[in-house]
Amino acid sequence: MTDPQLRHVGLKVGGFEAIDVEEAETGIFGFWVFLMSDAILFALLFAVYGTQLAATAGAPGPAAEFKIDSAFWETMVLLLSSFTYGMSSFAMKYGGQLRWVVGMLLVTLVLGLTFLGMEANDFAVMIHDGATPDRSGFLSAFFALVPTHGLHVVAGCSWIVVMLVQVAAFGLDDRVKINLLRLGLFWHFLDVIWIAIFSVVYLQGVMR
Amino acid sequence: MSGPGPSLPRRLARYGAAALWVATAFSVRPAAAPPARRTARPSKAEIAADRRRDLLTYGIGYGLALALTLLAFALVYWRWAEPPVALALVFGLGLVQVLVQFRCFLHIDFKGQARDDLLLILFSTLIVLLMVGGTLVVLFNLRARMM
């Protein structure tokens, strides 16, 4: 503890005034605990999906239902949003120019909503084709796994809106900064989960 | 051991260390002074160096993630490999990308400041491996017996 900076945050944001460093560290570490419990939830949904991969029971299977182009563009959008969130954190760390922090948050929000729109469209097409969760074990597992990630992105987008309101109300004070760091962890984590979904669900699915 | 240059093992070790240094270069703090108690504000030069390094970290992370995604996608889309090989490659590339994103976007590394986070993540990984592995083994075994 020789360095009076946040140690849990890679983007060590120095210069906290109102909050002491230890309190900030505890808050970030607690959020990591939540993220890891969430990771375990997703891992088990993946495990269930793996066991149900062959259980199509005559309903449309992965090769028929997955649109790889759409999944690819969703991946690109989410990856870019992860990067733009990183740029927002970067701007916050160095100088904290409100224009950049908020601008990049807005870009991230738009990309997140774009992703959700594309994903909702995918689900609508699947359901229109008769690939509903009640048709087979495979479809149940698919609709348990992928929309759970979608719900997380919905939560992330709502959180971005909340943070924009907080920035507008309080400016970039210490608590807002820490909240933005936590939201950043959440947002990057969602992208990591999506990489697993893209590999395990979509790429594996169209390969069959 | 009285030759003009350093011995081969020593030279190899030196190359290895150099390679390791290059591999982690973007995570090395270029400040010359040891990270002693920082009483005064960091100097302008230090901030500029940190700033450049952080930007580079994000840029490298994004570039690598993009390249790994494109590679995995191309493997499947243009059928560059047979399905079993392609599947293994896709999973491998995905795993590498997860590591890249943890390093570059979530800022987890082996350098001290996030040691507790790292331990938490490693322990969670162990739990995940046990539970996912166990689930898959048990249920595939059951399926094989019932088919």
Question: What are the structural domains of chain A?
Answer: 21-207 (1.20.120.80)
The minimum CA-CA distance between B90 and chain A, rounded to whole Å, is 6
Q: What would the mean pLDDT of A53-64 be, rounded to a whole number? A: 86
| pLDDT tens-digit series, residues A16-47 | 555 667 777 788 888 999 999 999 999 999 99
d(C-alpha A66, C-alpha B94), whole Å: 19
Decide if B132 and A44 are in contact by the 8 Å CB cutoff.
yes
Q: What would the mean pLDDT of B72-84 be, rounded to a whole number? A: 89
Q: What is the pLDDT of residue A84?
A: 96
Give the lowest-confidence range in A25-39, A71-85, B104-118: B104-118
CA atoms within a 13 Å half-sphere pointing along the CA-CB vector of A156: 32
Q: What would the mean pLDDT of A159-165 be, rounded to a whole number? A: 96
CA atoms within a 13 Å half-sphere pointing along the CA-CB vector of B81: 16
User: What is chain A's mean pLDDT, rounded?
Assistant: 88
The candidate with the shortest Cα–Cα distance to B47, out of A151, A5, A62, is A5
Give whole-number Cα distances, A53 to A134, A200, B138, in Å.
15, 10, 15
Q: Is B74 on the interface with A (CB under 8 A)?
A: no
Q: What is the pLDDT of residue B113?
A: 56
Residue A12: pLDDT band (50, 70, 90) is: low
Give the lowest-confidence range in A63-72, A176-185, B13-22, B113-122: B13-22
User: What is chain B's mean pLDDT, rounded?
Assistant: 78
Decide if B69 and A75 are in contact by the 8 Å CB cutoff.
yes
pLDDT value at A92 more than 50: yes
- Categorise residue A196: left if φ over 0, alpha if ψ from -120 to 50, beta otherwise: alpha
Residues in contact with B25: Cβ distance below 8 Å, sequence separation at least 6, in sequence order:
none
Percent of chain A with pLDDT over 90: 64
Instruction: Check if the interface score ipTM surpasses 0.90.
Output: no
Decide if A204 and B72 are in contact by the 8 Å CB cutoff.
no
Spell out which residues of chain B touch residue A189, defining contact as CB-CB under 8 Å.
106
Q: Terminus-to-terminus CA distance in chain A, angstroms? A: 53
Give whole-number Cα distances, A28 to A199, B29, B139, in Å.
29, 23, 37
Task: Give which of B27, B66, B68, B76 to mutate to test A binding, by max A Cβ within 10 Å.
Answer: B76
Q: Is B20 on the interface with A (CB under 8 A)?
A: no
Task: Give which of A199, A204, A206 to mutate to test B binding, by max B Cβ within 10 Å.
Answer: A199
d(C-alpha A55, C-alpha A76), whole Å: 30
Decide if A7 and B91 are in contact by the 8 Å CB cutoff.
no
Decide if A47 and B136 are in contact by the 8 Å CB cutoff.
yes
d(C-alpha A48, C-alpha A63), whole Å: 19
Q: Is residue A116 within 8 Å of A70, Cβ to Cβ?
A: no
Q: What would the mean pLDDT of A119-135 be, rounded to a whole number? A: 93
Q: What is the pLDDT of residue A87?
A: 93
Cβ under 8 Å to A: B residues 21-50: 35-38, 42, 47
